[in-house]
Amino acid sequence: MIEVTAPRGCKPKPGMTIHRSRLIHPDDRAKRDGIPTTSVARTLVDLADVLNDRQLTRAVRQAELLNVLDVRTIDEALERLPGRKGRHRLKRVLAAHRPEPRLLRSEAERKLKQLCERHRLPQPQFNVQVAGYEVDVYWPEAKLALEFDGAETHFTRHAFHADRRRDRALAVEGVQTLRVTWLDLGVVLAGQVKKILRRR
């Protein structure tokens, strides 16, 4: 079954489902092999109305894998289509794909310090040498290291392999490494760190 988004007045043909739309902005239009289509952004906005969170997450991840995910254009499409029932669902799913704040490492350290204070965790050392490597965060008594991973610097092929060499070298010295992102700096991470510190 072919599904088509079209203005009112377009008549369906056999094997075709028509989704009516009062507005199809020029920026919501694209072409694929010469065939008019909705843009990726508009397609995801439309899908958000009919898919559940898991299905929508899968669609967004597929767009990311195909290197066609652009959060900015999706936000613009949502602005053009106020009142869409799936807008909040789509924003929840997109939260993990939004660019990380362009903050200095010290900003992530500040947030982690506050997290430790709120959850009564021992304050770690920051930017210390361990087994010949500088680690972002370290609890020496527990031999627990924490590394801040940002998509811009750690998702290259070189960084991928370098990070794993580092983790293996630290593991040889009995150091456990946790890799976290800015989005991880919350209550779940605090609970996990607390459990690890109790065991080591």
User: Dihedral (C-alpha) 86, 58, 179, 126: value to the nearest 10 degrees?
Assistant: -20
Q: Do 93 and 8 share a structural domain?
A: yes
pTM for this prediction = 0.53
The least confident of 70-79, 123-132, 150-159, 183-192 is 150-159
**Residue range(s) defining the domain that contains residue 26:** 2-97
Q: Do 159 and 131 share a structural domain?
A: yes
Q: Is the pLDDT of residue 39 over 60?
A: yes
Question: How many domains are contained in the chain?
Answer: 2
Answer for the pair 162, 131: CB distance below 8 angstroms, yes or no: no
User: What CA–CA distance (Å, rounded) separates 27 from 20?
Assistant: 17
Q: Do 137 and 162 share a structural domain?
A: yes
- Per residue in 87-126, pLDDT (tens digit) is 999 999 998 777 655 444 678 888 999 999 999 999 999 9
Confidence of residue 23 (pLDDT cuts 50, 70, 90): confident
